Amino acid sequence: MPAALLSVRGLTTVFDVPPRPIVAVDGVSFDLRRGETLGLVGESGSGKSVTALSIMRLLDPPGHITGGHVVFNDQDLLDLPEAEMRKVRGAGIGLVFQEPMAALNPVMRVGHQIAESLLVHGRASRRDARKRAIELLEAVRIPDPAARVDDYPHQFSGGMRQRVMIAVALACRPPLVIADEPTTALDVTVQAQILDLLRAMKQQFDLSLLLITHDLGVIAETADRVAVMYAGRIVEEGPVRAIFHNPQHPYTRGLLASIPGGTAGARLQAIPGMVPNLAALPPGCAFAPRCPERLTICDAAPPGQTAITDEQRVRCYLHQAAAGNDGSTNAELRARTGELR
């Protein structure tokens, strides 16, 4: 099995806002192996983007990391001085933002923005940086890159701006790229083109990819493994095929059932209820108020992690009971807490 390029353990991020601090990322742990694509999926507000910003140490106040480890290339990024962390950003880990128009400098030519990354990290001379910028624009399939290298971001379409962002992220050939909702603001045809480009860039540049999205269709097409996030916690993780064909958490099953594409004219399914307010999470499983398979014990404390297979893990009392992780058999647990409600 390939070694982990990125290993996140117990990552916890808190926003100090009144009347009480909000835990946006709660003890998140996962590994990203060399050469693979890991999909981080969940509804809006589940903590996916905050996880990415925490890994990159790009949180703005009042957000701050309160615990955990983020080990990249055998270095804990949370222990690095800021000067050393700046060397990791761009050269070690590239980041593709959700909205390129907000991420790109509107008054700087796109070629200069790509070249800037090369110059800051000492990867090219000023003379060579422009040439490399043109090569990168060609690599991400920008037509006539030699002419467009001097254009400004507003002169590109949404899909083309996203390609420029990918070029910026790849400029220093980082081994890891984090793509945060790279297709959200694009129409369906352009989404497919960007996903195809990411797959091609992954092969061409030998990348590992952390793909953040709320779209399970994107995960099915692109990822090798998937981690499902809800209310700041990872509730299920495993290979894409296992998660899609044998989901173990009720939330994962609800997400999969919500995907359009069933019988024509049939009513779309939805998960009942609303995503919980992170400032007022229930004391037990955060999904319990929306869960059709809830046990009484689900309201007491967050469930621990249970291994379904060597590759698939889930946080759910249904599986803890079956595995005997609480010291009881499934039958004993049901006798103590009552049947499914």
Going residue by residue through the chain, which has 341 residues, state the pLDDT in tens, using 9 for 90 and above.
567 999 999 999 999 999 889 999 999 999 999 999 999 999 888 999 999 999 999 999 999 999 999 999 999 999 999 999 999 999 999 999 888 888 899 999 999 999 999 999 999 998 899 999 999 999 999 999 999 999 999 999 999 999 999 999 999 999 999 999 998 778 888 888 999 999 999 999 999 999 999 888 889 989 999 999 999 999 999 999 999 999 999 999 999 988 877 667 777 788 988 888 898 899 999 999 999 999 999 999 999 999 999 999 999 999 875 555 544 444 445 554 444 43
Give me 117's structure tokens.
């990354």
CATH label of the domain that carries residue 186: 3.40.50.300
DSSP secondary structure of 86-136 = HHHBTTTEEEE-S-HHHHS-TTS-HHHHHHHHHHHTTSS-HHHHHHHHHHH
Q: How far apart are CA 140 and CA 200, in angstroms?
A: 9
| pLDDT computed for residue 323 by the predictor | 53
Total residue count of the chain as it appears in this document: 341
- In contact, 88 and 170? CB cutoff 8 Å: no
Q: Is residue 261 part of a domain?
A: no
- In contact, 294 and 304? CB cutoff 8 Å: no
- In contact, 149 and 137? CB cutoff 8 Å: yes
Spell out a b/e string for 148-185, using b for 16 or more CB atoms within 10 Å of the CB, else e: bbebebeebeebbbbbbbbbbbbbbebbbbbbbbbbbb
Give me 79's structure tokens.
């222990």
- In contact, 160 and 171? CB cutoff 8 Å: no
Q: How far apart are CA 27 and CA 11, in angstroms?
A: 5
Q: Is residue 98 part of a domain?
A: yes
Which amino acid belongs to residue 297?
A: I
37 bridge partner residues: 209
Q: How many domains does the chain have?
A: 1
Q: How far apart are CA 222 and CA 39, in angstroms?
A: 8
- In contact, 103 and 181? CB cutoff 8 Å: no
| pLDDT computed for residue 259 by the predictor | 83
| pLDDT computed for residue 321 by the predictor | 58
Q: Is residue 269 part of a domain?
A: no
Class of residue 283 by CB neighbours under 10 A (exposed 0-12, middle 13-18, buried 19+): exposed
Three-state DSSP class for residue 328 = coil
- In contact, 333 and 297? CB cutoff 8 Å: yes
| pLDDT computed for residue 329 by the predictor | 41
pTM value is: 0.90
Q: CA-CA distances (angstroms) from residue 5 to 79, 126, 174?
A: 17, 31, 12
Q: What is the Rg, in whole angstroms, of the alpha carbon atoms belonging to the chain?
A: 22
| pLDDT computed for residue 332 by the predictor | 43
Domain enclosing residue 105, as ranges = 4-223
- In contact, 68 and 27? CB cutoff 8 Å: yes
Ordered alpha helix ranges (H), the chain: 48-56, 82-88, 100-103, 110-120, 126-139, 145-148, 158-170, 188-205, 216-222, 240-245, 250-257, 317-323, 330-337
Which amino acid belongs to residue 149?
A: V
Q: Is residue 300 part of a domain?
A: no
